[in-house]
Amino acid sequence: MATNAFGMGIDRPDVRAVIHLGPPGSIEAYYQEVGRAGRDGAPALGSCSSARAICRCGGRSSSGAPATRPRTPRVVEHKWSMFLELIRWAEGGSCRHDAILRYFGDEAETLAGCGRCDVCLALGDAPEARDPERVTLIVRKALSGVARVHGRFGLQLAVKLVRGEPDERLDRAGLTTVKTFGNLKEHAAPWLVALLRRCVSAGWVSFAGVDRPVVTLTDDGRAVMRGERPARLLLPPEARRPGAEPARRRDTATTDRVPASLARARARRAGRAGAGSFEALRRYRLTVARAEGVAPFIVASDRTLRDIAALRPRDLAELERAHGVGPYKAAKYGAGILQVVAKQAGGPLHSG
C-alpha cells in the first residue's frame, strides 16, 4: 500500500512488480509509480486492476487526508481531463510503451511495438494476429474517414461518415458522395468511436482547434492509411451479449523513461562535451541492443545515458551513481560504457 508519492521514496533496483488497486489520477502519476519496477533491467510487471474506478476530484487530498479547502471547478475540470487521458491510454489498443512516449512528446524513441506490454503480447494471440489483412483494411477505412474530415469536423462526424449516416454538415461538404461514405456501415457507432480513440492512442489521429476540437490525420496515420506502415492494433471488443460477464483485462506497462522536456533540460546541463558523450553512448547502446536482440531502452534509457555523460564515471562504483544503474547493469554493461566514456574524455580508464 502506498500513496501517489510512491516513486519518490523507492530507490531499489530490484522491484519486480507495482500493482495498483485503483487507477492513478493521471498518466504522469502512473508513469512515476510504475517506473519503480525493473530498474535493474530484469523483467518486471506493472498492473492496474481497473481504469474505470470512480475518480473523486474533491473532498480528499492526494494522501487520502481530508482536503483543507474545496477545489474550484477549474481544478476539478483539470483533474478530470487528466484522468480521461489515463482512461484513453488504458483502453488504447496499441503498444503501452509507445503510447506513453507519444503522450510525453518523445516520438523519436517509439519502437513500433515494445513486444513486452499486454497489448503487444495479446497481438500475438488475438484474432488480429491470425487475420492482419482484415485489421489493416478496417483501420485504413477508418483513417480514410478522418482524412476526409481532416481539420473541419470532430470525431463523431468522422464516425457518421464511415457509417454512412445522413447529416446535413456532411452533405454541405460534399462528403455523402465520396467512396468513404458508408465504408464501415456494418459496425456500430460506439465500436467505431472506440476504434478511432485507439487510433488516437496509436498516434495516427490527433485533435486541433480552439473553439471546438476537430480531428486531424497525423503523418504516421497517413502512412498507415496508404499501406506504407503496418496497422498493429487490437480492435475494440465486440458488444457483449446481455447477461454476459465482462472480460477482465490487465493494463501493464514497464518503462524507465522521462518526459522529453526534462530530458532536454538534463542534456543542456550536461553541456557540449556531455552531449557528445551522450551520442557516443547511444551508438554503443544500439550496438549492444542489436547484438542481444532487445530494444535499446532495455540496455539503458536516455535518462541513464545522459546521467552517465554528465557524471563521466571512471570506475564501476562511480557508474552506479547514475540514474537507473544498479549492480546488475553495471556488471553486464559497465566495462563497455566506461570505455566509451574514457574515449570521449581522453582520460585513463580505472578498473573496479
Q: What is the pLDDT of residue 256?
A: 38
Supply the Cα-derived Rg of the chain in whole angstroms.
Answer: 23
> Using CA atoms, how far apart are residues 176 and 195, in angstroms rounded to an integer?
21
> Residue 190: pLDDT band by 50, 70, 90 thresholds?
very high
Q: What percent of the chain has pLDDT over 70?
A: 70
Least confident of 149-163, 268-282, 310-324: 268-282
Phi and psi torsions of 186, nearest 5°? -75, -10
| Residue 154 Cα distances to 145, 157, 166, 208, 221, angstroms | 11, 6, 15, 9, 16
Average pLDDT over every residue of 278-285: 89
* Greatest mean pLDDT range, 296-300, 303-307, 334-338: 334-338
pLDDT, one tens digit per residue, over 78-99 is: 676 676 677 667 777 778 888 8
Average pLDDT over every residue of 211-223: 88
139: part of which helix (H) or strand (E)?
helix 132-149
- Residue ranges and CATH numbers for the domains of the chain are 6-53+77-119 (3.40.50.300), 130-235 (1.10.10.10), 261-345 (1.10.150.80)
Average pLDDT over every residue of 161-179: 95
pLDDT at residue 49 greater than cutoff 80 = no
